[in-house]
Chains A and B, each alone.
Chain A
Amino acid sequence: MKVLVPIKRVIDYNVKVRVKPDNSNVDLANVKMAINPFCEIAVEEAVRLKEAGTATEIIAVSIGDKSCQEQLRTALALGADKAIQIDTDQNLDSLNVAKLLQKVVEAEQPQLVILGKQSIDSDNNQTGQMLAALTGLPQGTFASEVKVDGDKVNVTREIDGGLQTVALSLPAIVTTDLRLNEPRYASLPNIMKAKRKPLEVQPAADFGIDLAPRSTLVKVSPPSERQAGIVVESVDELVEKLKNEAKVIS
């Protein structure tokens, strides 16, 4: 079974982003970038399926300029067999990303597509579901467990009230939640090996899709900052403040 793993290059999750002084966007100049944590979990899940003998081939795909090849190499070092960079300078919204991925799904015919549930930059939580709709495939979002069983996959999902398990006919789309697995680190030999694995570049323009943006970013502002408050000396003082100053308890 072939598994497709779309991944995204994003700001490193430890970095606190800053808004540009002219409020046009956030400032990503010289900021540490990394593979989106949820995408990393998606790669790991695919690799585990391969180690278990369920998956036979893992293809990683990323949409972006040349810099996202770095994250594709990471995916190859973690165990993907082949990588595709869909080359574009444009910052695409999820719908256009999903449309490009739809073409990749049509060309590669994977049985399973595993994506991160959201990217930690735009926080949209859309691409996997949109891809599922465009390809007409079922989806198991926010997965904390994925079990392939013949021509079906059982996905346990993290939902507001707890957990829900759904059965999907294959091919299917899965999006990962944090507890699906703990990604491994790439070993040095695997990082070296990844350099020789195939990485194909396909210009986004060749896909014949109208990639015009669906929205305009009017402005980006910093959030209202909270002022640090005070450190109280005792529980008595805390209770007194909460009652009489903040008036949030009685």
Chain B
Amino acid sequence: MSILVFAEHDNNTLKADTLKTVAAAQAIGGDIDVVVAGLNCQAVAEAAAQINGVNKVLVADNAAYEHQLAENVSLLVTELASDYSHILATALTTGKNFMPRVAALLDVAQISDIIAVESADTFVRPIYAGNAIATVQSLDSKKVITVRTTGFDAVATDGSAEIIAIAQATDAGTSSHVSDELTVSERPDLGAAGVVISGGRGMQNGDNFKLLEGIADKLGAAIGASRAAVDAGFVPNDMQVGQTGKIVAPDLYIAVGISGAIQHLAGMKDSKVIVAINKDPEAPIFQVADYGIVGDLFDVLPELESKL
């Protein structure tokens, strides 16, 4: 078997999530190549070459791939696919965007968001917002898979794979990039942080998220939010944790003023330790919390910050 892993990056740095997708590839077993598609992405290729267990790093360095437009990237990956039995991407917004196109172009199904590998053709994935776990056997000759990073531990970066430039430069010509509006933050990535502290509707406004920042600074935490907090405009969309936001599984997750709707739990209930701060003792979040404090967050947060 031979597996192609698509590298997640921003043309400058390789996202650590790729190391988890390679872990899924290793669980499947076989030769593993990584493809880096971008513009001026040599540094990413060099980082990818250090991923443990990778054979070759294929680099498609071309303007057509600068913004990872799905129309172009899917054509590239489909062209490369003939050499591989499995094609894997991380189940983040880039992979979710282009991979189903690859699957359709190859006339195969896609297995989305796998959290475990049973065998080379059988995979485990959550359905119904994580309220059921499905084991699915693919009947297709080629497997197109996206990998949920919370299911796999990152592999080491002690390798030295060969880097090969590839000439592909397919521009479908139907889409173009207009602009990005990216959130700049000094804090760790939500997906990578060991500690996450999230605020919900109970925070009342965006200013009050400052109460979480002091604690996040002390714990080296990332800050997340419920959908209600994002919808109310307290914080930007990229902070949303849940079924349709980011899926996180840190060592410690602190939910503040969050009721614990199914859709929110879907994004955090695999965290090692969950703490809930909520003034309503009946809030469903307490059913999944290891430690709960029933109280007003405006009293609890300043005290917590001072005692850490």
Given A165-B179, A223-B132, A242-B252, A129 and B71 contact (CB-CB distance below 8 Å): no
Contact of B262 among A16, A133, A219 (CB under 8 A): A16
Selecting from B26-34, B42-50, B180-188, the interface stretch reads: B180-188
A154, A163, A241, most chain B CB atoms within 10 A: A163
Closest beta carbon of chain A to B8's beta carbon, Å: 9
In the assembled complex, the Cα of A248 lies from the Cα of B231 at a distance in Å of 31
A183 within 8 Å of B (CB atoms): no
**CB-nearest residue of chain B to A96:** B109
B237 within 8 Å of A (CB atoms): yes
Contact of B286 among A19, A126, A137, A228 (CB under 8 A): A228
A161-186 interface mask toward B, CB cutoff 8 Å, 1 = contact, 0 = none? Answer: 11111111100100001110000000
User: Which residues of chain B from 127 to 145 have a CB within 8 Å of any chain A CB?
Assistant: 127-140
Contact of A246 among B10, B179, B231, B273 (CB under 8 A): B273
B303 within 8 Å of A (CB atoms): yes
Residues of B within 8 A of A172 (CB): 174
Q: Across the A-B interface, how many residue pairs have beta carbons closer than 8 Å?
A: 254
Residues of A within 8 A of B269 (CB): 223, 226
B293 within 8 Å of A (CB atoms): yes
Interchain CB contact under 8 A, B304 and A235: yes
Residues of A within 8 A of B2 (CB): none
Residues of B within 8 A of A165 (CB): 177-181
Closest beta carbon of chain B to A4's beta carbon, Å: 17
In the assembled complex, the Cα of A219 lies from the Cα of B274 at a distance in Å of 29
Closest beta carbon of chain A to B110's beta carbon, Å: 5
Contact of A159 among B93, B230, B307 (CB under 8 A): B93
Residues of A within 8 A of B172 (CB): 138
B290 within 8 Å of A (CB atoms): yes
In the assembled complex, the Cα of A223 lies from the Cα of B135 at a distance in Å of 12
B279-295 interface mask toward A, CB cutoff 8 Å, 1 = contact, 0 = none? Answer: 00100001111111110
In the assembled complex, the Cα of A154 lies from the Cα of B275 at a distance in Å of 41
Given A123-B126, A218-B136, A235 and B293 contact (CB-CB distance below 8 Å): yes
User: Which residues of chain B from 101 to 140 have a CB within 8 Å of any chain A CB?
Assistant: 101-105, 107-113, 122, 126-140
In the assembled complex, the Cα of A169 lies from the Cα of B127 at a distance in Å of 34
The SS class assigned to the A binding surface is mixed
Residues of A within 8 A of B286 (CB): 228, 231
Contact of B238 among A125, A130, A160 (CB under 8 A): A160
In the assembled complex, the Cα of A138 lies from the Cα of B173 at a distance in Å of 9
A17 within 8 Å of B (CB atoms): yes
Interchain CB contact under 8 A, A162 and B238: yes
In the assembled complex, the Cα of A123 lies from the Cα of B287 at a distance in Å of 24
Given A166-B175, A214-B109, A141 and B96 contact (CB-CB distance below 8 Å): yes
Given A95-B108, A167-B178, A162 and B275 contact (CB-CB distance below 8 Å): no
Given A160-B93, A241-B291, A166 and B177 contact (CB-CB distance below 8 Å): yes
Interface size class of B (residues with CB under 8 A): 35 or more
Interchain CB contact under 8 A, B109 and A94: yes
Interface size class of A (residues with CB under 8 A): 35 or more
In the assembled complex, the Cα of A94 lies from the Cα of B269 at a distance in Å of 27
Residues of A within 8 A of B98 (CB): 129
A219-240 interface mask toward B, CB cutoff 8 Å, 1 = contact, 0 = none? Answer: 1111100101111100110110
B225-258 interface mask toward A, CB cutoff 8 Å, 1 = contact, 0 = none? Answer: 0010011000011100001101000011000000
**CB-nearest residue of chain A to B294:** A231
B64 within 8 Å of A (CB atoms): no
Closest beta carbon of chain B to A248's beta carbon, Å: 4
The SS class assigned to the B binding surface is mixed
Given A133-B104, A161-B238, A232 and B292 contact (CB-CB distance below 8 Å): yes
Residues of A within 8 A of B92 (CB): 160
Interchain CB contact under 8 A, A178 and B231: yes
Interchain CB contact under 8 A, A122 and B238: no
Interchain CB contact under 8 A, A220 and B108: no
Residues of A within 8 A of B96 (CB): 125, 141-142
Interchain CB contact under 8 A, B195 and A248: yes
B100 within 8 Å of A (CB atoms): yes
B219 within 8 Å of A (CB atoms): yes
Residues of A within 8 A of B109 (CB): 93-95, 214-215
In the assembled complex, the Cα of A26 lies from the Cα of B133 at a distance in Å of 10
Q: Could you jot down 13 A-B contacts, CB within 8 Å? A: A26-B131, A94-B110, A95-B110, A125-B96, A144-B237, A162-B237, A167-B177, A169-B175, A177-B237, A217-B134, A229-B291, A235-B293, A249-B252
Q: When A and B form their complex, which 7 residue pairs have the shortest distance between CB atoms, in order from nearest? A: A129-B100, A214-B109, A229-B290, A133-B104, A130-B104, A138-B174, A133-B101
Query: Contacts A139-B70, A157-B97 given; 4 further ones with Cβ under 8 A?
Result: A121-B127, A124-B112, A130-B104, A230-B292
**Which residues of B are at the interface with A, using a C-beta cutoff of 8 A?**
10, 67, 69-71, 74, 92-94, 96-105, 107-113, 122, 126-140, 172, 174-183, 195, 219, 227, 230-231, 236-238, 243-244, 246, 251-252, 262-263, 269, 272-275, 281, 286-294, 300, 303-304, 307-308
